[in-house]
Amino acid sequence: MAISTDTISQLIQAHGLLLLFPLSVVEGPIVSVGAGWMAKLGLVSFGWAYVILILGDLIGDALHYAAGRSGLRLFPERWRKRLGIDSAAMQALVNHFEVRGGRTLILAKLTHSLGFAALIASGVARMPFLPFLWFNFLGTLPKTLAFMLLGYAMGHAQTLISTWLWRGSLVVFVLGVVALIWFLRHRAQRS
């Protein structure tokens, strides 16, 4: 869900840090850019905004995790079969998150557009919650800081930043889907 950067700026100007938390749960990166710009203008404290943005981002991540953890049961069995979600696939996912869960979450967090899929998959794989939260925290720190610094330095161009963030995310998402299709075909041919 995309929120206009102008709307974010107006809301933060009017209500300060009070609105920053719920906005960051919904749409973290562009809110971080807006908060960086607001900090430069002296409307919010950079340090407090950073803390609030991290907390909001982690709450959003936890909601994705919870959706994955409980959401698979909501899919009818026939849908799971069509999607190739059988016991072997589930075991492979569980094994992946046991061995490479932290690395996967940090990498997904930094790619932005594939993050939601990894967050949900970690819940489906029933990755323990505290390690899940820890690795997301580690990925959130530099990502939030980078977006805040971008807003601090170039916040006057928020609309342009939002457009390029969306385009970059779309490119990474399309490449991720292509890689997933290739992987699934390759796996099917080996079977």
So what's the pLDDT on residue 177? 63
pLDDT in the model for residue 43: 82
| Mean pLDDT split into 10-residue runs, the chain, 191 residues | 63 75 83 86 90 94 90 72 74 85 88 80 91 95 93 71 61 64 64 59
Which pLDDT value is given to residue 95?
86
- pLDDT, residue 169, reads 59
Residue 21: predicted pLDDT: 87
d(CA 137, CA 143): 10
In sign, the C-alpha dihedral spanning 9, 48, 62, 14 is negative
Give the C-alpha separation, 69 to 112, whole Å. Answer: 21
0.85 surpassed by pTM: no
Residue 180 is predicted with a pLDDT of 61
Radius of gyration of the chain (CA): 18
Which pLDDT score is estimated for 157? 60
